[in-house]
Amino acid sequence: MTMQRIKSILPVLCAMLLAMPLAAQGPAEVWLRKAADKFEQKGVDLSFRINEDGVRLSGRLLIEGKKFCFLTDEMKIWYDGTTQWTLQIDDDYSELYINEPTPEEQQSINPYLLLGSYQEHFTATDGGEKTFNGLPLHLVVLKANDDRQELSQLSLYIDHEGTPAALELTFPDERKYKIEVRSMRNGLTFPQHTFTYQPKSYPADEVIDMR
């Protein structure tokens, strides 16, 4: 899985796992509201696994307000609400990129800013009861309103308590990714250093400061 594709999946994962409290109250929106309630109590610690053509990539996502930390073996991202650190790891060599995203750039990394964008460009429909990995879940499908969107469709599987259990992303090139939620805890408070780069824990071979 390429670094660019991981970058494109991150904002989708953040936004959809935060769910979307849409204004309308059809069956799909009711389920999205139920899922959103899981993410409105302090911080969230979520572990996930991405499947792409038989290749599995495991990771962890921590969210607290506008801050988040995204960790996989290939890429690690910290965002404290102002500064973003992106550590890319290729074999035994690592590069750290530091920047302060502009308002336009924040649209692609900030889950809270993404919510409005997805509400504007996607339509939610209720998919009813489904079975995913042998579990009884409820399906909500979000389809892009036009062909220019980076993501064509997202299928969100939610358990009966409102916890997102899995996502299936479909891109315009018809490539699909399945994201399985392995575990989730909410109502947490994280130490502030959780959302900043710690050089002692993750030393970088090269630092590129773009601020």
What is the dihedral angle through the alpha carbons of 118, 57, 4, 54, rounded to the nearest 10 degrees? -100
Looking at the chain, the whole-number percentage of residues with pLDDT higher than 90 is 26
Summarize pLDDT for 9-22 with one digit per residue, the tens.
Answer: 655 555 555 444 44
Residue type, 161: E
- C-alpha 32/C-alpha 149 separation (Å) is 21
- C-alpha 113/C-alpha 148 separation (Å) is 19
**Domain hosting residue 121, numbered range:** 3-209
Give the other-Cβ count within 10 Å of 202's Cβ.
Answer: 15
Counted domains in the chain = 1
pTM for this entry: 0.77
Summarize pLDDT for 54-89 with one digit per residue, the tens.
Answer: 667 888 989 887 788 989 888 899 999 899 999 999
CATH at residue 79:
2.50.20.10
- Going edge to edge, which strands form the sheet with 164-170? 122-132, 135-144, 153-158, 164-170, 176-188, 43-52, 55-64, 67-72, 75-79, 84-90, 93-99, 206-209
pLDDT band at 115 (very low <50, low <70, confident <90, very high): very low
- C-alpha 192/C-alpha 198 separation (Å) is 11
- C-alpha 85/C-alpha 178 separation (Å) is 26
Give the other-Cβ count within 10 Å of 9's Cβ.
Answer: 23
